């Protein structure tokens, strides 16, 4: 097989992998800023702990992907500035997200992450990249389950019409 038979980390990335990993990193950077801002709005302790955990994971995944791209000679996307922590009570009630709104926003981010990871896994020819994103996929799915449990426990889950057949 030549160039693709050996240590996957020594194999070149194809253009699709480069674009997908670079784009996923851009999304992680945007999510990090969003999560940092949302922590300023949250009053529920369980939701706040989930957000803080998610921030930690996003930072770790970003660092891994930056290394992967740098090791493959790919310029990194510009990173937005981190957002400061502020006192929730300083945000006017009308301008503050409610906890259920924050949970719904996180839902959208989680769904987008799962879909993106699936796509990257499916198009990768480098096993290390496919495995990396399989791990991200599992981690993001775990966050989705944790968030669903919080939403059920707090009464925030919006249930679609149930089909009773």
- Domain containing 62 equals 11-154
Share of the chain above pLDDT 70, in %: 96
- Average of pLDDT values for 132-144? 98
Domain count across the chain: 1
Q: Rg for the chain (alpha carbons), in Å?
A: 18
DSSP string over the chain: -GGGSS-GGGSPPPHHHHHHHHHHHHHHHHHHHHHHHHHTT---HHHHHHHHHHHHHHHHHHHHHHHHHHHTTPPPPPPPPPPPP--GGGS-GGGSPPHHHHHHHHHHHHHHHHHHHHHHHHH--SHHHHHHHHHHHHHHHHHHHHHHHHHHHHT---PPPPP--
| Dihedral sign (CA 75, 135, 112, 158) | negative
pLDDT greater than 80 at residue 7: no
Q: Which of 3-7, 15-19, 72-76, 82-86 has the lowest mean pLDDT?
A: 3-7
- Residue 37 sits in a domain whose CATH number is 1.20.1260.10
Residue 164 lies in a domain: no
Residue 118 lies in a domain: yes
pLDDT at residue 11, as a whole number: 86
Residue 160 lies in a domain: no
What's the whole-number average pLDDT of the chain?
Answer: 94
Residue 165 lies in a domain: no
- Average of pLDDT values for 118-122? 98
Residue 50 lies in a domain: yes
- Average of pLDDT values for 12-26? 97
Residue 131 lies in a domain: yes
- Average of pLDDT values for 147-160? 96
| Phi, psi angles (nearest 5°) of residue 19 | -60, -45
Residue 40 lies in a domain: yes
């Amino acid at each position: 097989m030549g160039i693709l038979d050996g240590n996957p980390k020594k194999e070149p990335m194809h253009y699709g992998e480069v674009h997908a990993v670079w784009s996923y990193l851009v999304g992680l950077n945007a999510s990090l800023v969003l999560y940092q801002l949302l922590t300023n709005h949250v009053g529920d302790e369980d939701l706040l702990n989930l957000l803080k955990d998610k921030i930690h994971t996003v930072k770790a995944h970003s660092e891994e992907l930056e290394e992967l791209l740098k090791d493959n000679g790919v310029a990194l996307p510009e990173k937005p500035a981190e957002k400061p922590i502020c006192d929730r009570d300083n945000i006017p009630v009308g301008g503050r997200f409610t906890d259920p709104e924050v949970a719904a926003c996180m839902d959208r981010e989680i769904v987008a992450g799962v879909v993106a990871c699936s796509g990257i896994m499916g198009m990768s020819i480098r096993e290390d990249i496919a495995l990396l994103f399989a791990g991200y996929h599992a981690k993001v799915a775990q966050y989705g389950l944790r968030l669903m449990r919080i939403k059920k426990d707090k009464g925030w889950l919006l249930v679609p019409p149930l089909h009773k057949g």
